[in-house]
Structure 1
Amino acid sequence: MKVHFISIGGSVMHQLAIALKKKGYQITGTDDEIFEPALSNLRESGILPENIGWNSELITPDLDAVILGMHARADNPELLKARELGLPIYSFPEYIYQESVQKKRIIVGGSHGKTTTTSMIMHVLKEQGMAFDYLVGAKLTGFEQSVQITYAPVIVCEGDEYPASVLEKRPKFHFLFPHVAILTGIAWDHINVFPTFDFYLEQFVIFIQKIEPGGILIYNDTDPVLVELIEKNKRSDIQYQAYGIPQHEIKNGSTTLEVNGIKGVLSVFGNHNLMNAMAAYYACLQLGISAEAFLQSIANFTGAAKRLELLAKSDVTNVYRDFAHAPSKVKATVEAVKKQFPERKLIAILELHTYSSLNVNFMNEYKGVLDGVDEAVVFYAKHALEIKKMPDLPADKVKEGFGNDALIVLNDKSELLNWLMKINRVNANILFMSSGNYDGLNINSLAEEIMPTSS
């Protein structure tokens, strides 16, 4: 197989290119910019482009496939030539499906918890010694890459609802046709892509319709929006498996999960992670993995990168980082930390970084999400607004949206550092929540700096 990548430097695209090279395919690719870690990864794999920029001479009639990344524009010269030659052109998810036509496909969708649930399934399958391929949106301990394509009989994919490519505007998870589908919940986000909630909901209706006949939909029945959507779009040719918050016990900061009368201690915590674990269990059950085997395997799962990741710890303080940015994710993360450590003060620093979160018209969606926090800061960089060409976001509008007059709103990272150093951090958990980087702050080193040494 000869495969060419347009925009090979993308975070997931370059991982697929490397995976196909390992499978024995002949790979070429181009991009107009390639940054680390893609640059080093491609170089080590021997498929780093000789020159930066597009090269239509690489588009030849003998190519079996051209894979088009999100970064490429519609007038890309390589894309134009590929269309002129009538070559097969695929978006990333379309090509993943081509590679998995003969596999059993487990696809995890939903507005939140996709990465963690996918990671849990992958972790258990690996612990059980099963052969499988995968696609996940984060770095996982024990996995060299975020994409693997081999000749395994099973593939586990994180399936998101955002557009597949510049040519194919339909959501990625519409192209994966699951045998085992998971929906973790629905909460409106990314209003620049989905301007109305009804339009957003429709994408999940279509996903349900894409489940293979005889397949199964595993869904979160604590989400009334999702439950109503499923009831209105019921299919007679698939099975349904509901899940919610399972039986569990929290003692001395440790969570024990119970499944079918069997108990196991988890390394992660929070109601959202308990539900993620149940979704993962029901998926693994479809592959013949028992409750006992599942609990034994999931015990040492510590989470995906930036998902309630413990950055620093002492006897009196823990510092966590979480990818939470959408309202439902922020609320779930706050509740998880507060419930796990009820005796500790909770300090939260939420960065607004996405188009939705920086949009004044979306701010009311955050109402009440930080109410469980003892001291809260909302941070957003003026630079982020400028890059996204968005108008200024007044602090009073942020406080009004969150419904919290005591909220501290900051735009300058030095002010954020000063605030962090001044507050009492003893007997506290400090929670950084963002899909960005706080205007360039090194959160890993900062976590150590702000760690109090004694009570």
Structure 2
Amino acid sequence: GPQWLGEHFLQDHWVLAVSGTHGKTTTASMLAWILEAAGMSPGFLIGGVPGNFAVSARVGESVFFVVEADEYDTAFFDKRSKFVHYRPRTLVMNNLEFDHADIFPDLAAIQTQFHHLVRTVPAEGLIIYPEAERNLAGVLERGCWTPCETTGEGGLWSVRMVSGDGSAFHVLHDDELQGRVQWSQVGQHNIANALAAIAAARHVGVRPEQACEALCEFAGVARRMELLADIAGVRVYDDFAHHPTAIATTLAGLRKKVGDEKILAVIEPRSNTMKLGVHRESLAAATDEADQVFWYQPEGLDWSLTEVVASGSAAARVIASLDELVAKTLAEARSPCHILIMSNGGFGGFHRRLVTELNAVCEPN
């Protein structure tokens, strides 16, 4: 587990850890790829599969090791967050919101764990976080003895947009141009992830210009706005979003990319936090950028999805059967259309069934 990894392997490495409520997997994947493109052959342990590597973990051939640092507890008998075992020299903190309601009573409890993490970073290390993240500023105000660099508006690292959807932008350090990124990703969240990765890579000696060039070849991460199929003008995407903020950000990124074309969101509220109903007040508004939303009502949800989603501006309906969900989604799939499936689980094979049925419907006679 995390403790063994920290004690027996990571202590001999320069650890670059990526933490936060959202964007850990994507940012860690970007960072590992930047170091790889710079010839550093880093090791990594990531909670998803980066498209540039096709594996989620490897030992690597250098002192550098990128780890996705999760705040979830280490084990049922060790309630410390996993990330306190990693002792990073370079720490990225992406953002901080209330999540994991099954183990944390409130935001302050999560901030305490993040402060434990901050205290493990040595004085000669570096902590990178967004200037605008008040919840993270609250963590650092409890005491920080490590240099910090900030990203985003008002931060040391910032961007100048080239395209509105985030597929091209200039990177600035202290208001000086460092390079340009033109890539296959979209959305403000991915730009924020990129800035953190570029800043972290510079800490281990990669020039920002080099990092920008590497990101132009970044292949994304499985299940992060991953295009599963493009069938007769109907595009099907898979995304891991399982928190209202992530749902809203992912939809906003897609909306900027596709303009007025129809977006149909299909969402399974599956995470432990979702099932407990912690975020239900903000769920409906999270889907405002969609034209239509189908919510899947999983078993064991002890609150009413129907009542909650009725307040949103997008046309929404709650469906309790996978067969009906496939049928209703097919009925709405008229070109041009973008179907965004959001779940942090397997969704009962829904993705595969939908794509198979779409292929059957759209096959030329």
- TM-score, normalization by structure 1: 0.72
Residue 129 of structure 1 pairs with residue 42 of structure 2: no
Over residues 222-280 of structure 1, what are the superposed CA-to-partner deviations in whole Å (9 max), with x where a residue is unaligned?
Answer: 323223433x2342x311111126222227x7711212332231121111001101100
Contact 1:360 1:397 survives alignment (8 Å): no
Q: 1:409 to 1:307 in 2, by over 3 A?
A: same
Secondary structure, counterpart of 1:112 in structure 2? coil
1:141 aligned residue: 51
How far did 1:453 drift?
Answer: 5.7
1:354 aligned residue: 271
Stretches of structure 2 that go unaligned for 5 or more consecutive residues are 153-157
1:202 aligned residue: 112
Contact 2:123 2:147 survives alignment (8 Å): no
Contact 1:246 1:275 survives alignment (8 Å): no
The residue identity in structure 1 corresponding to 2:95 is G
- Any residues of structure 2 matched to 1:8-407 within 5 Å, and which? 91-143=1-53, 145-149=55-59, 152-230=62-140, 232-235=141-144, 237-244=145-152, 246-250=159-163, 255-260=167-172, 261=177, 262-313=179-230, 316-382=233-299, 385=300, 392-399=302-309, 403=312, 406-407=315-316
How far did 1:403 drift?
Answer: 4.3
Over residues 10-68 of structure 1, what are the superposed CA-to-partner deviations in whole Å (9 max), with x where a residue is unaligned?
Answer: xxxxxxxxxxxxxxxxxxxxxxxxxxxxxxxxxxxxxxxxxxxxxxxxxxxxxxxxxxx
Q: 1:257 to 1:314 in 2, by over 3 A?
A: farther
Q: 1:179 to 1:344 in 2, by over 3 A?
A: same
Q: 1:409 to 1:149 in 2, by over 3 A?
A: same
Secondary structure, counterpart of 1:408 in structure 2? strand
| Cα distance between partner residues in 1 of 2:196 and 2:124 | 19
Over residues 116-147 of structure 1, what are the superposed CA-to-partner deviations in whole Å (9 max), with x where a residue is unaligned?
Answer: 00000111111222132111111223435422
How far did 1:97 drift?
Answer: 4.2
Secondary structure, counterpart of 1:246 in structure 2? strand
| Cα distance between partner residues in 1 of 2:130 and 2:235 | 30
The residue identity in structure 2 corresponding to 1:250 is S
How far did 1:304 drift?
Answer: 1.1
The residue identity in structure 2 corresponding to 1:257 is F
Stretches of structure 1 that go unaligned for 5 or more consecutive residues are 1-90, 386-390
Coordinate RMSD, CA, aligned: 2.3
| Cα distance between partner residues in 2 of 1:316 and 1:145 | 31
Contact 1:121 1:281 survives alignment (8 Å): yes
1:410 aligned residue: 319
The residue identity in structure 2 corresponding to 1:447 is V
Q: 1:259 to 1:408 in 2, by over 3 A?
A: same
Q: 1:446 to 1:98 in 2, by over 3 A?
A: same
The residue identity in structure 1 corresponding to 2:322 is K
How far did 1:314 drift?
Answer: 5.3
Q: 1:448 to 1:302 in 2, by over 3 A?
A: farther
The residue identity in structure 1 corresponding to 2:147 is Q
How far did 1:367 drift?
Answer: 4.5
Secondary structure, counterpart of 2:324 in structure 1? helix
The residue identity in structure 1 corresponding to 2:222 is A
| Cα distance between partner residues in 2 of 1:121 and 1:150 | 14
Contact 2:6 2:87 survives alignment (8 Å): no
| Cα distance between partner residues in 2 of 1:407 and 1:99 | 49
* Greater radius of gyration (CA): 1
Contact 2:291 2:315 survives alignment (8 Å): no
- TM-score, normalization by structure 2: 0.89
Over residues 181-207 of structure 1, what are the superposed CA-to-partner deviations in whole Å (9 max), with x where a residue is unaligned?
Answer: 001101111211112222122221221
| Cα distance between partner residues in 2 of 1:198 and 1:367 | 26
Q: 1:450 to 1:256 in 2, by over 3 A?
A: same
| Cα distance between partner residues in 2 of 1:352 and 1:116 | 21
Report the identity percentage.
25
How far did 1:361 drift?
Answer: 4.6
Secondary structure, counterpart of 2:11 in structure 1? coil
1:429 aligned residue: 338
How far did 1:290 drift?
Answer: 1.4
| Cα distance between partner residues in 2 of 1:150 and 1:128 | 14
| Cα distance between partner residues in 1 of 2:197 and 2:61 | 23
How far did 1:161 drift?
Answer: 0.3
